[in-house]
């Protein structure tokens, strides 16, 4: 499975991705793409859920390719703003680009 990210600044939800075979689990919701045959395309409007940003396809070589929204915070890193495609994602948790450290809050004076 290859995952392409589309950075989106107005998504208020956290994103937890897991891959299991031909399924992608987004925040606990399973999207099973195993019925797709080689060369098939599943149109974006046929997928429930607002995380998908394009059609899902299974290339002739059997690899599933999909585009997912990547919520970016105000302190987004360059890796979040311009994410690299993830190629041949293994089963398990999908590592997402991380934001920059949050700015330190000024300490209140106790005087």
- pTM confidence score: 0.87
Q: 43-59 pLDDT, tens per residue?
A: 999 998 889 999 999 99
Could you tell me whether strands 29-32 and 64-71 are parallel, antiparallel, or unpaired per DSSP bridges? Answer: unpaired
Reported as a pLDDT band with limits 50, 70 and 90, residue 11 is confident
Domain of residue 67: give its range: 2-88
Residue 58 forms part of a structural domain: yes
CA distance 89 to 78: 21
pLDDT at site 89? 98
Residue 11 forms part of a structural domain: yes
Q: Which two tokens stand for residue 93?
A: 């948790």
Residue 99 forms part of a structural domain: no
Residue 96 forms part of a structural domain: no
Is residue 104 pLDDT above 60, yes or no?
Answer: yes
pLDDT at site 37? 97
Residue 94 forms part of a structural domain: no
pLDDT at site 109? 57
Residue 97 forms part of a structural domain: no
Residue 107 forms part of a structural domain: no
CA distance 99 to 69: 15
> How many structural domains compose the chain?
1
Residue 66 forms part of a structural domain: yes
Within 10 A of 65 (CB to CB), how many other CB atoms are there? Answer: 17
């Amino acid at each position: 499975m290859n995952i392409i990210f589309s950075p989106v600044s107005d998504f208020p939800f956290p994103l937890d991705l897991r891959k299991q075979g031909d399924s992608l689990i987004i925040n606990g919701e399973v999207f099973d793409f195993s019925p797709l045959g080689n060369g098939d395309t599943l149109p974006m409007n046929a997928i429930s859920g607002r995380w998908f940003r394009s059609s899902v396809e299974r290339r002739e070589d059997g690899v599933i390719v999909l585009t997912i929204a990547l919520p970016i915070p105000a302190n987004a890193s360059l890796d979040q703003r311009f994410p690299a495609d993830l190629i041949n994602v293994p089963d398990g948790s999908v590592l997402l680009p991380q934001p920059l450290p949050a700015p330190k809050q000024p300490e209140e004076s106790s005087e």
